[in-house]
């Protein structure tokens, strides 16, 4: 799958349904019928929406973990906690399960933001706070992550 582009402000209705914005829907059109997996983020108070093919690639990596190591079992359990298969309905909406809306503090106003090949779903206030907090040290982070001299494939 190619990288997704565009951050969108959206709303969640009282039933927890989110309309996929048309700009994002156009990018997802080839894979819309395959479904998605929605889960809690590991590092942030947001949700991660994986296209099914991306989820399957990730599961292939996780299946290589030795399950006779307690840390691996603990990781698998916590990583998959709350994960759900999500389908887009006929009106282009996703239903966000109640326990996941509670985890991410989602009430009404949300932001969906791509993270290369997945989509993060944020409560709008938490997203803006996260961006503001990250802005303070983003230059240092960019230099550390992307400014490496070496033979990495990143240009």
Where do the structural domains in the chain lie, given as residue ranges? 8-144
CATH 3.40.1550.20 fits 8-144, yes or no: yes
Give dist(CA 106, CA 100) in Å, integer.
8
**Could you read off the pLDDT of 19-56 as tens digits, one per residue?**
999 888 888 888 888 999 999 998 899 999 999 999 99
pLDDT beyond 90 at 140: no
* Confidence at residue 52, expressed as pLDDT on a 0 to 100 scale: 95
Q: DSSP per residue over 75-136, as a string? A: HHHHHHTT-EEE---TTSEEEPPHHHHHHTT-SSEEEEEEETTEEEEEEHHHHHHHHHHHHT
* Confidence at residue 151, expressed as pLDDT on a 0 to 100 scale: 55
**Could you read off the pLDDT of 44-96 as tens digits, one per residue?**
999 999 999 999 999 999 999 999 999 999 999 999 888 999 999 988 899 99
Secondary structure (3-state) at 147: coil
Task: Tell me the two tokens of residue 75.
Answer: 């990781």
Give dist(CA 26, CA 149) in Å, integer.
37
pLDDT beyond 70 at 121: yes
Query: For the whole model, what pTM was predicted?
Result: 0.84
* Confidence at residue 132, expressed as pLDDT on a 0 to 100 scale: 79
Residues 86, 95: contact at Cβ < 8 Å? yes
Secondary structure (3-state) at 143: helix
* Confidence at residue 134, expressed as pLDDT on a 0 to 100 scale: 67
What's the whole-number mean pLDDT along residues 126-146?
78
């Amino acid at each position: 799958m190619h990288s997704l582009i565009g951050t969108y402000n959206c709303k969640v209705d009282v039933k927890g349904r989110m309309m996929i914005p048309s700009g994002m829907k156009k990018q997802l059109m080839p894979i819309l019928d395959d479904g998605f997996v929605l889960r809690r983020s590991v590092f942030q108070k947001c949700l991660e929406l994986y296209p099914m093919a991306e989820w399957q690639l990730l599961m292939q990596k996780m299946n290589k973990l030795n399950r006779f190591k307690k840390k691996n079992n603990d990781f698998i359990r916590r990583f998959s906690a709350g994960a759900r298969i999500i389908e887009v309905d006929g009106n282009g909406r996703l239903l966000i399960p109640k326990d996941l809306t509670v985890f991410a503090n989602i009430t009404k106003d949300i932001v969906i933001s791509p993270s290369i090949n997945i989509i993060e779903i944020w409560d709008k206030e938490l997203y803006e706070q996260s961006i503001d907090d990250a802005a303070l040290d983003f230059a240092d982070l960019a230099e550390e992550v992307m400014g490496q001299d070496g033979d990495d494939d990143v240009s």
